[in-house]
């Protein structure tokens, strides 16, 4: 079911993207010749008002063919030709597809936050307190309420604390209730000084990482690192990150059975120099949150802006380290794998994932690569600056280079997916 929803959602995202180009081009009086979802031989095709509508059998994108858009053919002597339009109109037509994906992603975020949101959290039980708070709190203290509101999880406590900034925190210690006042100015310090109790159970395994290739699974518990027993996530993480070797030997418990796996340590553009194996801690506490329309709108705007910012930062880091490209790109296999993980968390989580994919389509299409929307915008803006047209032969050559780069990137994404799955298969 999740696979079917992913295919449908991806098709809708492509439709929304091309519809953005279509509507703005029509608004500027550009003639439309074709509107296609997918490439290759059409599975479904019809003509309406002179426009050829079709669905191709290769579902890896789509296109809107505009009159006069092809640089390899002479510009028709027609005011409806794309190349006859002002540079800023052509730039807006190019931008309209990514903009449609941005708005669609924002809409999906809003819908997801208007639904009951399934929250995964740590229990509000302390592992330790640091700094001046070590004299106030003790390991095992249970955070019961803040300003009279019962606390469902540790993140719930942090949100309540940082929102109110001051109030009364009630804890349970050895069966006794103790109240502590939190004064204004202490909230930030308290938030970073308290650590929740976190076991060594794996909550998620990130695709294309050593843990994924070793077939570790959600629910596995790490019992030892390099033959040294571990009982909490913090000490386990320290042993892995600070390992003097390039690999670690993990003792894993799965369903009462113990086995060992040797995992290669790696770093990537997201973690910098820190060594990782690609696992995320389990969050055993689950509850639902509901947001008002205003809260949903604020959260959606924040998550949209944050996602875009983080991904452009990652692209900048990737430009400085192109050798990381193979491990960083993902194709259909990775998308399906991630969608299945999100699907297990509920429909709302799947919507959040689809929103992220829509925003990623916007980000990738705005790259200044000829043949992509970003390349079209780049050509238009350059023409506006130099006040003359870029020779069609130059545009055609650059578009051919862009096509080769795009195909190469797609092949690399498929290869990255398949090689990752092959490594995983070898550990069967």
What pLDDT is attached to residue 327? 63
Window from 93-97, 272-276, 335-339, 407-411 with minimum mean pLDDT: 335-339
- For β-strands 202-205 and 279-281, DSSP reports them as antiparallel
What are the residues facing 287 on neighbouring strands?
119
Dist CA 325 CA 299 (whole Å): 31
What pLDDT is attached to residue 60? 73
Reduced DSSP (H G I as helix, E B as strand, rest coil) percent helix, strand, coil of the chain, to 5 = 50, 25, 25
Band (pLDDT 50/70/90 cuts) for residue 422 is low
Q: What is the pLDDT of residues 235-265, one digit of tens each?
A: 999 999 888 889 999 999 999 999 999 999 9
Dist CA 142 CA 156 (whole Å): 13
- Pick the more confident residue, 98 or 5: 98
Cβ distance 409 to 61 under 8 Å? no
What are the residues facing 66 on neighbouring strands?
32
- The CATH code of domain 202-282 reads 2.30.42.10
222 backbone dihedrals φ, ψ, rounded to 5°: -85, 115
Band (pLDDT 50/70/90 cuts) for residue 266 is confident
- Pick the more confident residue, 20 or 427: 20
Going by C-alpha positions, the residue among 286, 232, 235, 346 that lies closest to residue 123 is: 286
What pLDDT is attached to residue 73? 64
The DSSP 8-state label assigned to residue 165 in this structure reads S
Dist CA 10 CA 24 (whole Å): 22
Dist CA 5 CA 14 (whole Å): 14
Q: Which two structure tokens, joined as six digits, stand for 62?
A: 């789509």
Total H helices, total E strands in the chain: 12, 16
Q: What is the pLDDT of residues 278-307, one digit of tens each?
A: 899 999 999 999 999 999 999 999 999 999
Dist CA 376 CA 337 (whole Å): 33
Give the predicted TM-score (pTM) of the model: 0.83
Dist CA 400 CA 405 (whole Å): 9
Q: What is the pLDDT of residues 86-140, one digit of tens each?
A: 999 999 999 999 999 999 999 999 999 999 988 999 999 999 999 989 999 999 9
Which superfamily, per CATH, for 123-196? PDZ domain (2.30.42.10)
Going by C-alpha positions, the residue among 44, 23, 45, 41 that lies closest to residue 32 is: 23
Going by C-alpha positions, the residue among 12, 6, 37 that lies closest to residue 332 is: 6
Band (pLDDT 50/70/90 cuts) for residue 406 is confident
> 219's torsion region: left (phi>0), alpha (psi -120 to 50) or beta?
left
Band (pLDDT 50/70/90 cuts) for residue 311 is confident
Mean pLDDT rounded to a whole number for the chain = 87
Cβ distance 35 to 15 under 8 Å? no
Dist CA 327 CA 316 (whole Å): 16
Q: Which residue has the tokens 């079917």?
A: 4
123-196 and 202-282 agree in CATH topology: yes
Q: What is the pLDDT of residues 317-375, one digit of tens each?
A: 777 776 666 666 666 666 767 777 777 777 888 888 899 999 999 998 999 888 889 99
Dist CA 252 CA 249 (whole Å): 10
Domain boundaries, the chain: 1-9+87-122+292-428, 123-196, 202-282
270 backbone dihedrals φ, ψ, rounded to 5°: -80, -35
Q: Which two structure tokens, joined as six digits, stand for 131?
A: 């700094």
């Amino acid at each position: 079911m999740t696979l079917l929803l992913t295919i449908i959602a991806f098709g809708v995202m492509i439709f929304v993207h091309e519809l953005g180009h279509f509507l703005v081009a029509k608004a500027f009086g550009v003639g439309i010749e074709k509107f296609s979802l997918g490439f290759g031989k059409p599975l479904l095709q019809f003509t309406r008002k002179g426009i050829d509508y079709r669905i191709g059998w290769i579902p890896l994108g789509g296109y809107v063919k505009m009159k006069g858009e092809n640089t390899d053919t002479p510009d028709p002597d027609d005011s409806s030709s794309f190349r006859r339009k002002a540079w800023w109109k052509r730039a807006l037509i190019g931008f309209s597809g990514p903009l449609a994906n941005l708005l669609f992603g924002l809409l999906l975020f809003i819908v997801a936050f208007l639904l009951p949101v399934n929250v995964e959290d740590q229990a509000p039980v302390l592992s330790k307190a640091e700094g001046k708070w070590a004299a106030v709190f003790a390991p095992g203290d249970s955070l019961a309420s803040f300003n009279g509101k019962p606390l469902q999880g540790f993140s719930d406590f942090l949100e309540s604390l940082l929102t109110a900034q001051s109030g009364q925190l009630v804890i349970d210690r050895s069966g006794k209730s103790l109240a502590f006042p939190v004064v204004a100015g202490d909230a930030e310090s308290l938030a970073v000084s308290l650590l929740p109790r976190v076991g060594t159970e794996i909550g998620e395994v990130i695709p294309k990482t050593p843990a994924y290739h070793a077939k570790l699974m959600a629910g596995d518990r790490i019992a030892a690192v390099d033959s040294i027993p571990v009982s909490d996530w913090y000490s386990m993480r320290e042993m892995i990150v600070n390992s003097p070797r390039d690999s670690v030997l993990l003792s894993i418990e799965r369903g009462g059975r113990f086995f060992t796996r040797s995992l290669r340590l790696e770093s990537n553009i997201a973690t910098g120099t820190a060594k990782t194996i690609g696992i995320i801690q389990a969050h055993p506490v689950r509850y639902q949150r509901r947001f008002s329309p205003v809260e949903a709108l604020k959260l959606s705007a924040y998550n949209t802006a944050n996602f875009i910012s983080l991904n452009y930062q990652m692209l900048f880091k990737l430009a400085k380290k192109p050798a990381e490209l193979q491990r960083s790109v993902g194709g259909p296999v990775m998308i399906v794998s991630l969608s299945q993980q999100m699907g297990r968390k509920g429909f709302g989580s799947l919507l959040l994932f689809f929103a992220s994919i829509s925003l990623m389509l916007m980000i990738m299409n705005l790259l200044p690569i000829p043949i992509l929307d970003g390349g079209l915008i780049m050509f238009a803006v350059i023409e506006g600056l130099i006040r003359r047209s870029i020779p069609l032969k130059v545009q055609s050559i650059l578009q051919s280079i862009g096509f080769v780069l795009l195909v190469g990137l797609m092949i690399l994404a498929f290869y990255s997916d398949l090689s990752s799955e092959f490594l995983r298969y070898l550990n069967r």
